[in-house]
Structures are given as structure tokens and as C-alpha cells.
Chains A and B, each alone.
Chain A
Amino acid sequence: MSTAARDADAPIHPVSDSQTFRRGFRDLQHGFTQRELWLSLGWQDIKQRYRRSVLGPFWITIATGLQAAAMGILYSALLDIPLREFLPYVTIGLIVWNLISASILEGSEVFIANEGLIKQLPSALSVHVYRMVWRQMLFFAHNMLIYLVLLVAFAVWEDLSWTVLLAIPALLLLLLNAMWVSLVFGIFSTRYRDIAPILGSTTLMLFVLTPVMWTTQTLTEQGGQVAERARLAQIIPTYHYLEIIRAPLLGAPVAAYHWYIVIAITVIGWVVAIFALRNYRARVPYWV
């Protein structure tokens, strides 16, 4: 050990590369290679929540199923839509919405919640993000069992065509979005602790404004001013995310513009995420 560099090995150029794109990308890449770690941690998260309960993670399925059934029955009466149409609509809407809102809410807390690990173990920041997204995927998979039941019970499969496959790229897009959302909001809400509560209330507002419990169709059919107002749903970004995955699963057509909007937001979000990673990645351990 010496305080001066030894001549044998050339001294490393004393320029910090903490705030470079290269380090940002390397973080994402390193995190991904540690997948054995986050895959098991994600599973562990779910198993731990339902440890010692008889049904285990299937409580996720039951909870969502009950909520969807109650809302489906109530709202189909309120909105005067046949239950056979409306229940699958609400159920899938809820399942996808759960994924969206959890990505935003847990994503914004992703670094704060892992303070201990971040301060004790050197690992890529993205490990925590991958773990969170993987956990959400597992929740989603459990909830999709309800969809399978609906397929048979309400003969939804009769409406399906090859377009159901579009749900797969749609889901992948959703997960890509979950990643940038948790990187961006995760980093900034670690610095500014007000962001998490702001997102909490915003998500609640989005839930009401996004056609999860209601359909844009019923509003448009009323015509006149109400129909005009229905078009306001178009400015709600989560509407488009929901649509590209719900419609294929119900065998309904998807207008291409939903896809374009989602893809555009994904690209913009990732650009922001990469800049956030470049500039603030190294600051997160200082902020948590």
C-alpha cells in the first residue's frame, strides 16, 4: 500500500466516470446479469407475504376476483350493460390496473425501501428495479388465473382471434414502462420525499379517470355533450396502456393510435430514465 501510485501499474486517470452514460448502461446490464438474485428475491417477497397461510399466493387471485365480481355486478347494473360483457371487461381492467398502479407506487419507493441493502452491499441499482418488476409480473400471473376462469365461464374464448397474441407485446411494453417509471420516480422520490405521496394521490385520480370501471362506449352512445367529454379520456395516458392489453384479451379491436402513444411514452420515458441514471445514479446511496 502506498499513498502514491506505484510505477508498476500505471495510475488510473483521475477523472471520475460516475456521471457517464457508460456507467448508467453498465448498471442496467450488471443488474440484469444478477438475475439469479432478483428472481429469487422477487419470489421470496411474494411467498413471505403469504407465509403460513393455507392458500398462500392464491389469496392474490381471490382478492382480485372478489373485487372484480363485486364491481362487475354492481356497475353492470348501474351502467345497464349485460354482465356477460361487463364482468370480463372490469376484471381484466382491474388486473392490468393493479399492475400499472403498483408499478408507479412501489416503483417510487423502490430505493427508499431498500435503503439497508443499498448502503451495505455494492450492487447495481437496477437490481432493485428488476426485482420489483418481476414481483409485479408474478402478481399479474396469479391474477391472470381469473381470466382463464372467465374465458370458460363466460365463453369469452368465442370472441377471441389471433389478436389475443397482441397482449404479449403489450405486456412487455407495460413492463418496460414499469422499469423507467421506477428508475425515474424512484430516483427523484429518494431525493424529494414529497414525490411519493404526490404519486399516490395522482394514481388514485388516474384510476377514476381511466376507463377501468366504466367504458368510453357508454358515454359516446349517450351523444351530445357527454360524448364530447368522453373524448377527454384520450388525454389520460393510462387509458392507452390499459386498452392495448385489455382489448386483445377480450377479442376487441385496438385502434393503432393507442399503440403509437404507448410506444412514444415508452421512448420518452426511457430517455429521461437514462439521463436520470447518468446524472443521479451515484447520488442515490447518499440520498436514501
Chain B
Amino acid sequence: MTEHVRIDTHDAWVEFPIFDAKSRSLKKAFLGKAGGAIGRNTADVVVVEALREITLSLREGDRVGLVGHNGAGKSTLLRLLAGIYEPTRGSAQINGRVAPVFDLGVGMDPEISGYENIIIRGLFLGQTRKQMLSKVDEIAEFTELGEYLDMPLRTYSTGMRVRLSMGVVTSIDPEILLLDEGIGAVDAEFMKKARRRLQDLVARSGILVFCSHSNEFLAQLCETAIWIDHGRMRMSGGIEEVVTAYEGPEAGAHVAQIRRELAAEALASGEGDR
């Protein structure tokens, strides 16, 4: 385990250069430099500022939800926190083993069997082959795919693939868990089961950052929230507070209610144990 699981970003920017066909070719770069008069330089490339002035620090135990409109920069922020995009300005320091759950399909090979995919997927998430072999039975049981696990992945339906990748992701112990929404496409019964496993996973992980449009999900998993708007952090604070500001008092009340119910449930089950 990494000693101090933490994420610190300081005035981090993520800017995507947009190379159109012209500026991405060597010819233009050379001609531009030689010509001079045309005035082509590196600053001339069109840049999309996906994230601006992101300063935050997350510590062990933080459970953060991300809210914001489509295209506000939530997914990009998750990728910044994962260390995939290193900031173009400012800095980002990430300590801890990151488990990103963005696209459940990436790293899956349609031609190999479900079992083999479980192993490969685990290796991608920083596990060793040995660790994965010891977990494979448990994952197989969770996915309820039975003999299908010996079949190549291309024979699976979308829902079956999601089951498989959910099984792998929830079997590991990440220090930093980054969840992007869009887990859908599984039947209700499985979702209930997955949610429990997801909650266990969240409880095991040091830091959670979760991006979702579902207030119910956010209320269940997060304590605090950040509102991303046009690539900036518009607001950060308690989950109710942020959801209220973002979506209005009604949504905020809804979140508060779910949290109260959860607290009551936890209390009840806690007493039940005793």
C-alpha cells in the first residue's frame, strides 16, 4: 500500500491542442517556420481549455461527487486525477494506486474467453496474475455467467460484458477509485447486487471520485461534491449544498432525504448486528 494516499492539484489546466489536418502535417510546420511571415508558431494552434485553474487536495477517506453539464469537464477531471492527462499548466501529484472505471470495454479482447479477459483486465488494473487467479472463482460466481466464461467474449451480450467488467473492477482493492457514470445496461436484480459490491468497494478504497447525473447514486456514495462548469470548479462543498446550487432546492432535498434514509438503515443494521 502507498503510504499517503492523496491527490493534490495546484492551478492545473488541461488544454487540448486541436490540430486540423493542416497544422498536423510536417509540411506546414516546416513551411511555417521557414516563411516566418505567415506567423505560425506553437501558440497559433487552436486550443480547447477543457479544465482551468483546478486546485484541490483529496485525502484518504474523501468521497467526492462530480456534477455539471455535459461537456463541462467532469470526465476530463477524472482523467486528470487518474494521471492520464498531466496538466499543461500547474501541477498534479497523485499518490496511490488508481483504479479508473471509465469505459468498461477498454482492455477487453473479444476473441479470448471470459476467464482470460478477467485476468488481462486485472493486470491492466495493476494486479498480478497470481492475485487474479485467486480471485477468479469469486468473480465468476458474482457474474453468474457460468459456462459462458469459457466462451470467447464476442459471444457475450452487452449486459454480460458489463457484468464481467464490474466483477473484475469490484474485486480489486484500489487506493484511489475513479468512477465515471454509464454503468447501466444490466438487469435490475444484478444492479442491486452490483450496488452492494460497489458500496463495499467504495468502503475499501481510500479516495473516491464519482461522476454521475444520478442524484440517488451521488447521495449513496458521496459526502462532498464539486460542481464543474465550463472547465472551472464553480463550487465545492457538502453534497446537499452543491446539488442544491446546481439543480435547485428540490434535488437538494431529495439528496438529503436519501442520506437520512441511508443513515437510518445503517443504524438499524448496526443494532441488528449486536
Contacts and interface: CB of A to CB of B under 8 A. Distances in A.
Interface of A: 1-6, 8-9, 11-18, 34, 36-37, 40-41, 44, 47-48, 51, 116-123, 191-195, 198, 282, 285-287
A6 to B, nearest CB: 7
B100 A121 contact: yes
A121 B107 contact: yes
Dominant secondary structure of chain B at its interface with chain A: mixed
A31 to B, nearest CB: 13
A16 B85 CA distance: 12
Contacts of A6: 57, 59
Contact of A119 (B29, B79, B223, B236): B79
B27 interface: yes
A121 B106 contact: yes
B86 A12 contact: no
Interface in B1-51: 4, 6, 8, 10-11, 16-17, 19, 24-27, 29
B55 to A, nearest CB: 6
A287 B24 CA distance: 10
Given A1-B223, A15-B91, A121-B84, 15 more contacts: A1-B59, A5-B57, A8-B59, A14-B11, A16-B86, A16-B91, A117-B106, A120-B100, A120-B106, A121-B100, A192-B25, A192-B29, A193-B24, A286-B17, A287-B19
B102 interface: yes
Contacts of A11: 8, 10, 57
A4 B9 CA distance: 10
B11 A36 contact: no
Interface stretch (B122-130, B191-199, B252-260, B266-274): B122-130
8 A-B pairs with least C-beta separation: A14-B10, A282-B86, A16-B91, A120-B106, A37-B123, A12-B8, A18-B86, A12-B93
B16 A286 contact: yes
Interface centre among B6, B19, B93 (most CB of A within 10 A): B93
* Range for the number of chain B residues in contact with chain A: 35 or more
A37 B124 contact: yes
Interface centre among B24, B57, B106 (most CB of A within 10 A): B57
Contact of A122 (B56, B84, B233): B84
B112 interface: yes
A116 B104 CA distance: 11
A36 B8 CA distance: 30
Nearest to A18: B86
A120 B103 contact: yes
Contact of B90 (A13, A16, A117, A198): A16
Nearest to A2: B57
A9 B59 contact: yes
A193 B28 CA distance: 12
B103 to A, nearest CB: 5
A3 B84 CA distance: 21
A27 B58 CA distance: 24
Contacts of B55: 3-4
A44 B109 contact: yes
12 contacts: A11-B10, A16-B87, A48-B111, A120-B102, A120-B106, A121-B84, A121-B106, A121-B124, A191-B19, A193-B25, A198-B26, A285-B84
B64 A1 contact: yes
Contact of A117 (B64, B93, B107): B107
Interface string B154-183: 000000000000000000000000000000
Contacts of A120: 84, 100, 102-103, 106-107
A284 to B, nearest CB: 10
Nearest to B89: A16
Given A16-B91, A286-B85, A3 B56 contact: yes
